Amino acid sequence: MRDGAPVPLRLGGREFVAGRPAVMGVINRTPDSFYDRGTTFAFDAALRAADTAVQRGADIIDVGGVKAGYGEHVTAGEEARRTVPFIAELRARHPDVVISADTWRAEVASECAEAGADLINDTWAGADPDLARVAAEYDVGLVCSHSGGLAPRTDPHRVAYTDVVADVAATVTGLAERAVELGVGADRVVIDPTHDFGKNTYHSLELTRRLAELTATGWPVLVAVSNKDFIGETLDAAVTDRLAGTLATLAVSAWEGARVFRVHDVAAARRALDTVTRLGATETGNGGV
Confidence of residue 238 (pLDDT cuts 50, 70, 90): very high
| Statement: residue 173 has pLDDT above 70 | yes
Catalytic residue among 29, 188, 262, 270: 262
Q: Where are the alpha helices (DSSP H) in the chain?
A: 43-55, 76-93, 106-115, 131-138, 164-181, 201-209, 212-215, 229-235, 243-255, 266-283
Average pLDDT for 224-248: 97
Q: What is the predicted pLDDT for the residue at 282?
A: 67
Rounded CA gap, 228 and 92, in Å?
32
Task: Calculate the alpha carbon distances from 120 to 63, 156, 279, 281 in Å.
Answer: 10, 24, 32, 32
Catalytic residue among 29, 82, 188, 228: 228
| Statement: residue 288 has pLDDT above 50 | no
| Statement: residue 55 has pLDDT above 90 | yes
Residue 228 annotated as catalytic: yes
Least confident of 69-73, 120-124, 230-234, 242-246: 69-73
Q: What is the predicted pLDDT for the residue at 280?
A: 87
Rounded CA gap, 12 and 10, in Å?
7
pLDDT in tens, 78-123: 999 999 999 999 999 999 999 999 999 999 999 999 999 999 999 9
Residue 262 annotated as catalytic: yes
Contact 135, 181 (CB under 8 A): no
Q: Which residues pair with 182 in a beta bridge?
A: none
Rounded CA gap, 217 and 231, in Å?
26
| Statement: residue 284 has pLDDT above 80 | no
Average pLDDT for 114-136: 97
Q: Give the three-class secondary structure for 88.
A: helix
- Based on the number of CB atoms within 10 Å of its own CB, is 104 exposed (0-12), middle (13-18) or buried (19 or more)? buried
| Statement: residue 3 has pLDDT above 70 | no
Share of the chain above pLDDT 70, in %: 95
Q: Average model confidence (pLDDT) for the chain? A: 94
Rounded CA gap, 232 and 242, in Å?
6
| Statement: residue 289 has pLDDT above 60 | no
| Statement: residue 287 has pLDDT above 50 | no
Q: What is the predicted pLDDT for the residue at 155?
A: 83
| Statement: residue 1 has pLDDT above 50 | no
| Statement: residue 4 has pLDDT above 80 | no
| Statement: residue 56 has pLDDT above 90 | yes
Rounded CA gap, 257 and 190, in Å?
13
Q: What is the predicted pLDDT for the residue at 20?
A: 86
Average pLDDT for 210-223: 97
